[in-house]
Structure 1
Amino acid sequence: MRVFVTGAGGHIASAVIPELLNAGHEVVGLARSESSAAVVKALGAEVRRGDLADPDGLAAAAADADAVVHLAFDHAAMAAGDMAGAAATDRTVVLALGEALAGTGKALLGVGMGHGDGNEHLGRAYGSNPRIATGRLFGELAERGVRAVLVGVPPVVHSARDRSGFLPILIGIARATGVSGYTGDGANLWPAVHTRDLGRLYRLALEKAPAGAELHAAAEEGVAVRDIAEVIGRRLGVPVERIPQERLTEHFGFFGAFMSLDVPIRSGRTRELLGWEPVEAGLVADLEEGHYFAGE
């Protein structure tokens, strides 16, 4: 298949694109800058310049492809506190991509969190997240002749390719403050997946998942945040401390909103449907390998 990938210069795409190419698919990657275009080209994909502000251009690219893997998101707006704006942009893009594919039976894979696979609790945990509404669009698109598939990507996607996810942010905060922090008793759980395992899941989903499928890409159901903080503290040689709820924003900045997140994710049905079995290092083992702390 000829696959159009948005967010092609990003972390997840760095595994998805090679996985698709190695399976014999052609890949066209969206790049919004010269630096992103160089990354996409180095991965072996064809480059298409554009960005999320041009839904018509994205729709045209989708119409030229056999399938779309939509990975792009306005993370800068989210980090600046405008999650609603970032989600609104994403919704506009998904609608444009879906309109281009309506009635074709072509695949549209997106990032979002469904409630299947024994994960009904995610509706409560993420209920106020404006991105949830966009995820619901995939069910609607499946009824319009699109093989729409929602992929629930865990909060932590980790590997040596990770430069801006949860782990680099926590490590950066620990370096800046001299404390590796957690909140409460630190027993809240963050599910995780290695980047290469996630790349394999996307390829399998492209080839196998039926319209309307809600997949969950957790290799680990949940890792206690205190366990993560302890590895970071030991590696950096800084104390590991509980940060009171009222000081989360002071200590963690915008990331304080994520520190209490407790969202274990089950992926048993996804594994059975796709034949997906994660094989890469787990989150703590990956931290222990040291690449997150190299060069400092």
Structure 2
Amino acid sequence: MPAASSRSVCVLGLGLIGGSLLRRLAGTRPAFGYNRSAATVDAAAADGYDVSNDLLQTLARAQAEDAVIVLATPVTALASIIDAVAEHAPACLVTDVVSVKEEVARIIADRHPHARYVGGHPMAGTVHSGWDATDPALFTNAMWMVTTHDDTDSGDWLTVAEIARAAGSYVVPAANDAHDRAAAAISHNPHLTAAVTAAVGAGESRLPLRLAAGSFRDGTRVAATPPELQRAMLEANAVSLLNTLSETIDRLVAARDRLREHGDVAAVVEAGHRARLAYEEIASGDVEPIVGVTIGEAGWAQELRRQAHQARVWIG
């Protein structure tokens, strides 16, 4: 098996995330990609990248080169892609950059049950999409979740983790269900609250939008993401999102009732303020690495997860 640093990478889907990953890895290792849109392929090829809109040919190459296949399409398009991978590149290690993990794992288990699969999710993005939005620096210093279960193959895990590191990211080991709960809380739920804030702010005239400044701009940024992309992400994480949405509604109802009956919103504002300060402490501080773990030794996956819950990251 080739060393991880020289392993070919095959990116299926050249939108913002997949295209940015191809841009980042190209030149550092063999990297090639596929997209069903001829226009996207033409644009990427014009920029000098090794791309095709022939899926079966791309997968045959991946199989021949023992490439790592990166699934970078919306979750709604995964089933047919995975069917093709199972038929034409069954031996390849598969990872993904999709924003939910339980649903991706379920689809792969159903359609490619013998797959070597280690999930992934870079916590990076913009409200823009398509090849023109891609940026090789998109993942620099981002957090990249890599699926870490007790039965995860250590060699495959290292290969995927090293791709994340090559993209410039820190690796956050986590179980799929823990990732989806976290993503619902800090990514998917904010998409819904941003949508509500934008809709309420628009009001019945354009006056509020003329007056809108930083808090509206920052609080509604992700509402500018194309609705079809938002739906694909949010609806695929329905169980975890329902839980965080229910908590959000409960807190807002409590704030409304307190304001109506006592004239204050202290509890919700103070809880939010404390949480924001905790986030700023983690986000602005030095990145603390996971220590004392040798990948592949007994209990390695459990210990990685334990330290990740303390906000530590794997840097190799």
- TM-score tier, shorter chain, comes to 0.3 to 0.5
* Structure of higher CA gyration radius: 2
Structure (1 or 2) with the greater strand fraction: 1
Higher fraction of helix: 2
Higher relative contact order (CA 8 A, sep 6+): 1
